[in-house]
Amino acid sequence: MKLAGDWLDHPGTQALMQALEAAGHQALFVGGCVRNALLGEPVSDVDIATDATPEALSTLAETAGFKPVPTGIDHGTVTVVAGGKPHEVTTFRRDVETDGRRAVVAFSTRIEEDAHRRDFTMNALYADRHGAVIDPLHGLPDLQARRVRFVGDPETRIREDYLRILRFFRFHACYGDPEGGIDAEGLAACSALADGLDLISKERVTAELRKLLSARDPAPAVAAMAQAGVLARVLPGADPRALAPLVHLDAEEHPRWLRRLAVLGGDTDILRLSKAEARDLTALRTAIASADTPAVLGWRLGETLGLDAILARAASLGAPPPPGWQDEVRRGASARFPVIAADLMPGLQGEALGARMKELQGRWLSSGLMLSREDLLKEA
């Protein structure tokens, strides 16, 4: 079996692979680029595994006119920019010591040792520079069946890095066969070791949850997380029941992860959200519980967040959005409250002015943003 694609034929990529081979080293594509190419999915990042040490790789890259950047030198990773394209090149490794969060590794010259330390069989696939696939752990049948399965014993893999629990569900959402269901042995191991997620940093948990909820349909995976007791670990109090209706409703929309997070509910203290994300999430949750019309939500939240709010509220209520909701949100987002403070001055000042402005704004919103400046000032 052979791979093909523009990423494989990129001049810089091929030049780097050839330079490694010319120096007597192995150079193999590995992980996501191989997996995605075989599945017909887009390839964004190109990872290369080699038996060259980071020091030898850096020297070789500079000699060949490439730019080496020691992005993860302690773990054997050097990012090599060749032909304007970054490549993450990592020396074959084997784990020496793990504590559930990070690993102490030793460099290896054997592809089998490198493959055995990877998380899932579909990620332990390699390919040479011509695209010929190398499958040291016989993971190709799993990939072809879209079956997400741990390499070796699932509990052993999880104890090496507890984040693999969340990666298991994320990979099932992104690459698994929804008809085939989730791997039972892996699910049982995730359930048994779910408390290990308490050791993982908020940043890593948030990054993984963001990727999971950005999948086209994360609902079955999140339901499995709830069943296994994993969802309660990362999002205490979350309820996944509204997620599947939301995925159905937002099938034509970009899968925004905060929209999905909003309908799950729960305590987000374990997550590390940016200030903007925290603000938007609060606004969405408030909108879900409100009776504001689509136009009012568009005015309050803007077009993107207003559309998210209507979809999230509809999913939570188990009802379709109201007719014409998208146009109404956009109308509200472009609307401007027609009265300014100067319209009421000098007759009103201070607190009285603020109170009257608030009252008029309430009337305008109640009218569906239809009352004109003249109508409002006549009432004032």
Q: In what order do the strands lie in the sheet with 47-50?
A: 67-72, 77-82, 85-91, 47-50, 27-30, 126-127, 133-134
**3-state class (DSSP) for residue 1:** coil
Which pLDDT belongs to residue 101?
Answer: 65
Give which of 144, 216, 222, 213 is closest to 187, Cα–Cα: 222
Kindly report the three-state secondary structure assignment for every residue of 211-275.
Answer: HHHCCCCCHHHHHHHHHHCCHHHHCCCCCHHHHHHHHHHCCCCCCCHHHHHHHHCCCCCCCCCCH
Strands 126-127 vs 27-30: parallel, antiparallel or unpaired: antiparallel
| Full pLDDT tens readout for the chain, 380 residues | 899 999 999 999 999 999 999 999 999 999 999 999 999 999 999 999 999 999 999 999 999 999 999 988 778 899 999 999 999 999 998 876 666 566 667 888 899 999 999 999 999 999 999 999 999 999 999 999 999 999 999 999 999 999 999 999 999 999 999 888 999 999 999 999 999 999 999 999 999 999 999 999 999 999 999 999 999 999 999 999 999 999 999 988 889 999 999 999 999 988 999 999 999 999 999 999 999 999 999 999 999 999 999 999 999 999 999 999 999 999 999 999 999 999 899 888 999 999 999 999 999 999 999 999 999 998 66
Helix then strand count (H, E) for the chain reads: 20, 9
Which pLDDT belongs to residue 178?
Answer: 85
Which pLDDT belongs to residue 175?
Answer: 96
pTM over 0.85: yes
Record: fold of 1-144: Beta Polymerase; domain 2 (3.30.460)
Are 344 and 380 contacting, i.e. CB atoms less than 8 angstroms apart? yes
Which pLDDT belongs to residue 239?
Answer: 97
Contacts of 183 (CB under 8 A, 6+ apart): 147, 148, 149, 150, 172
Residue 360 to residue 47: CA distance in whole angstroms: 60
Condensed to tens digits (0 to 9), the pLDDT of residues 53-73 reads: 999 999 999 999 999 999 887
What does residue 141 show for φ and ψ, rounded to 5 degrees?
Answer: -60, -35
Q: What's the angle, vertex CA 329, arms to CA 323 and CA 335, rounded to 5?
A: 130
Give which of 261, 269, 348, 360 is closest to 312, Cα–Cα: 261
Report the interhelical angle of 184-192 vs 164-175 (nearest 10°).
150
Q: What's the angle, vertex CA 198, arms to CA 174 and CA 153, rounded to 5?
A: 60
Contacts 24+ apart (CB under 8 A), 282-291: 283/309, 284/258, 284/259, 284/308, 284/309, 284/312, 287/312, 287/313, 288/262, 288/263, 288/312, 288/313, 288/316
Strands 47-50 vs 85-91: parallel, antiparallel or unpaired: parallel
Are 141 and 122 contacting, i.e. CB atoms less than 8 angstroms apart? no
Which pLDDT belongs to residue 108?
Answer: 87
Are 219 and 247 contacting, i.e. CB atoms less than 8 angstroms apart? yes
Delimiting residues of CATH 3.30.460.10 domain(s) in the chain: 1-144
What single string gives the DSSP state of each residue in 118-136?
Answer: SSBGGGS-EE-TT-BEE-T
- Sequence letter at residue 43: V
What single string gives the DSSP state of each residue in 146-175?
Answer: T---BSS-HHHHHHHBTTHHHHHHHHHHHH
Residue 296 to residue 251: CA distance in whole angstroms: 24
Give which of 291, 371, 360, 369 is closest to 330, Cα–Cα: 369
Are 69 and 62 contacting, i.e. CB atoms less than 8 angstroms apart? no
324 CA to centre of own chain: 30
Q: What's the angle, vertex CA 270, arms to CA 245 and CA 74, rounded to 5?
A: 115
